[in-house]
Every structure is written in C-alpha cells, then in structure tokens.
Structure 1
C-alpha cells in the first residue's frame, strides 16, 4: 500500500502522463497539424516539463535542420519579411510567385486593350512577391 506521499507523487505522475498522451494523440490524429502547431505543443510541454527540452526543443538532435524548421515557423507566423537570406534559400523550392491577376485572366480579357494588358503584365512582373506553398508546413 503506497504512503500518502507516494500516492500524491503517483497522482502527479498520472497528470503528467495525461498531458503527454494528449499531445501525442493530437500530433498523430489531426491531419491539419502544422509545424507551427507541433512547435507550440512541444514548447508548452517544455514549459511544464523542462527536463524534456533536450529531446523536444527546436535544437534537439532529432531535428534534421533547425534552420529549415525555424524558417517554416516564421512563414507560418506570417513573418516572411523577417526571413534571413539563409532561410529564404532553404525555402526557395517552396516559393511560388503570386499576383492579383492570373495569367489566363490577364491574357484572356478581350475587353481590355493590348496596352492595358501589357501594362498589367509589366506591373505584375514588378510587384510579384514570393509566397510559400502549403507543402512547407
């Protein structure tokens, strides 16, 4: 029979295990979990259980490329403008140019004259920005 102290420790351990079980189930069952969600869950676990920082932290040995993960998280936070040159390089394969008009609309608009279409096309080339595809998450 456990003592009162041992019983309290067992209850605390059970609560801790419940937190890890919840995190594990969320990460395994939800198809829409992003890398940002994973980082948030791991950071919350680290906050509550500092001893797991070595295994779940952003710089943990299991993380193949911490720089890539950090770049992905920056994008998911909407901080693309703050990416370093190295981070942009890591994500370049996921970047796609976007603009206000699709090529088919710009070229297929019969009501707009040639000059308007040409100006729109040039403007589109100048203001096109890089956005990262969903595969980055």
Structure 2
C-alpha cells in the first residue's frame, strides 16, 4: 500500500482512528482541504465540521470539533477536542441538542457571551446530525 498515507485522529481521551488511507478531507478554519500522499508539509487549524477519508475505495466520516492538523508527505495527524465516527453518533441526542440551542438562541441578543457558546453548540449539533446521516 505504498500509495497510501497514515491518518491519526486524536482527542484528549483517545485515538479515534489510526490507519492507512487513500485520501483525507479536513475542515480547516480557512476552508476545507484535501490531502493525498506526497502532500507538502502543512500545519493548519481545524474547524467544527465533517472530516472524511477513503479506505479501500469506501468513504468514512467523522464529526470533529476544533483543533489542529499536521500534514507531512506520508502522515496526517489531526488533534481535535472531539471526534465521532458517523456510526457512533447518537442522532436523537444531537437533534435534542440542536433544538435546545435553537430555542435558547431566540431569547438572547448577539452581544451576550452565551449567544456565542450556543452558536458553537448549534454548529456542533448540526455537524453531528449531518455526519450521522452518512452512516
């Protein structure tokens, strides 16, 4: 498998994924970017979003929280607060979190600190719902 690269998705609690992949797409703060073997060295911050990669021609999906990624010619390391595979996401729980955040946001002004926190929670919930649908 000389044409593949090593992907490691790491959270503070666990190694969420480690294995050879054909390609990986990461939600960077400056926009989504793809990585193939032989990519130039790169450091980037990671935004809340969908991370995907291909193994054996099959796409796999993770919902990731903020963090950083390091890319070298043959390895991608993604260090994020949380990472959940599409198969492990509790869709009902994510839907409830989305509804709670939406309801609370309607009662706050954009200037309040809690508004920002709830906006982030809503973004995470929407991402988790979207990724769960790809399982």
TM > 0.5 fold call: no
Taking structure 2 as the reference length, what is the TM-score of the superposition? 0.27
Q: Which has the higher strand share?
A: 2
Q: Which has the higher helix share?
A: 1
